[in-house]
Amino acid sequence: MNEQTAIKLTPKDFATDQEVRWCPGCGDYAILKGVQKALADIGTPREKTVFVSGIGCAARFPYYIETYGFHTIHGRAPAFATGIKLSNPELDVWIVSGDGDALSIGGNHVMHMLRRNVDVNFLLFNNEIYGLTKGQASPTSRLGTRSPSTPAGSIDAPLSACVMALGVGARFVARGIDRGQKELPGILQQAHAHKGTSFVEILQNCIVYNDEVFGDITDKAIAGDAQIHVRHGEPLLFGKDNDKGLRLDPKTLKLSVAELGKDGVTEDDILVHDQTNHMLAQMLAAMDRPDFPVAIGVLYDNPADKTYDAAVSEQLQVAKSSAKINSIEELLNSGSTWTV
């Protein structure tokens, strides 16, 4: 074992000597800090961790993390990461992507990575805008977003990243916020602990092209009512005074917001979060302002029996132990041959 694995790691050990080049005030700084803290807490030796990214502001992330890093091409990071993980399953593989990279040009790869359930961690920095290409509307931009490519307001309906992830078979789905420094490292740790693809959407403020787009969720004055922090086994309560909760109407199969103490509502009427419940996760993921709070935390964590990479390794092992042809010579001489 080398020296690095013997010492306890700190967030600073994960900083590189490179000057960070995001715009001052960008939400990415806070996420970088959160990830460095999470990595230190997780404690995997730095050389056994790889960060893979595509293209975009978020994709510069690997340059600022003192691990192995591969900055690839637009939208394809999941495919590179799959090749890396299958080639060396002992590596901790993290993917950093933005909403354009992950959901537009790379949507196909995200879908297939999730359905295959490759044991990697996928971080989606969602700022609802293309930053690096100077501010065009993205697949998560809200209807009516005015941008250089949509001067009259965007007209294509946005998609919900977490709903999409659950829809294509993700077994771990979580949502965090860039400035949620207390919470984010914990979510990332749980994502890392999950065997299989962990999908984490992080709401991230783009100070230049989409400033305060999440203001209706994150402003301190309203955050209590606009966010619900879900925890496995705990009632789904929220509100500044923790006096609101989510109820399920069994007749309509719809969620509703209830106030404790009003109309005889008690805590017993409030749903308890079960992170293994796919249907609940879908409803939580779909909740949006202004009628509902936005769900933050681990919405779904329900590992499959086997990850894709484990199944691949298993098939390799079976082939090695059961093959009748084991050398190139045997291979070339297999089947029907004749001598002249």
Q: Residue from 80, 94, 122, 199 that binds another protein (CB under 8 A)? A: 80
Binding of residue 63 to another protein (CB under 8 A): yes
Binding of residue 298 to another protein (CB under 8 A): no
Structure tokens at 44: 């995997």
Task: State which of positions 100-129 bind another protein (CB under 8 A).
Answer: 108-109, 111-112
Residue closer to another protein, measured from CB, 256 or 333: 333
Residue closer to another protein, measured from CB, 162 or 312: 312
Q: What element of type H or E holds 183? A: none
Binding of residue 193 to another protein (CB under 8 A): no
Q: Residue from 155, 193, 279, 325 that binds another protein (CB under 8 A)? A: 325
Structure tokens at 211: 């400033």
Beta bridge partners of 174: 200, 298
Q: Residue from 10, 87, 242, 266 that binds another protein (CB under 8 A)? A: 87
d(C-alpha 22, C-alpha 190), whole Å: 27
Spatial contact of 118 and 91, defined as CB atoms under 8 Å apart:
no
Binding of residue 335 to another protein (CB under 8 A): yes
d(C-alpha 304, C-alpha 194), whole Å: 10
Q: How far is the CB of 94 from another protein (least distance, A)?
A: 12
Residue closer to another protein, measured from CB, 252 or 326: 326
Binding of residue 23 to another protein (CB under 8 A): no
d(C-alpha 4, C-alpha 186), whole Å: 23
Q: How far is CA 45 from CA 13, 63, 100, 235, 301, in A?
A: 10, 18, 31, 37, 25
d(C-alpha 195, C-alpha 310), whole Å: 10
Binding of residue 310 to another protein (CB under 8 A): no
Stretch of residues binding another protein (CB under 8 A), selected from 123-131, 179-187, 295-303, 331-339: 331-339
Q: Residue from 31, 38, 52, 270 that binds another protein (CB under 8 A)? A: 52
Binding of residue 6 to another protein (CB under 8 A): no
- Coil/strand/helix, residue 329: helix
Residue closer to another protein, measured from CB, 17 or 305: 17
Q: What element of type H or E holds 3? A: helix 3-6
DSSP 134-165: TS---TTPPTT--BTTBTT---SPP--HHHHH
Q: Which single residue is written with the structure tokens 């010492």?
A: 7
Q: How far is the CB of 66 from another protein (least distance, A)?
A: 6
Binding of residue 306 to another protein (CB under 8 A): no
d(C-alpha 103, C-alpha 228), whole Å: 25
Q: Residue from 10, 25, 88, 193 that binds another protein (CB under 8 A)? A: 88
Binding of residue 96 to another protein (CB under 8 A): no
Q: How far is CA 111 from CA 166, 325, 335, in A?
A: 10, 37, 41
Task: Give residues in contact with another protein (CB under 8 A).
Answer: 2, 4, 16, 18, 45-48, 50, 52-53, 55, 62-63, 66-73, 76, 78-84, 86-88, 90-91, 108-109, 111-112, 312, 315-316, 319-320, 322-323, 325-326, 328-329, 331-333, 335-340
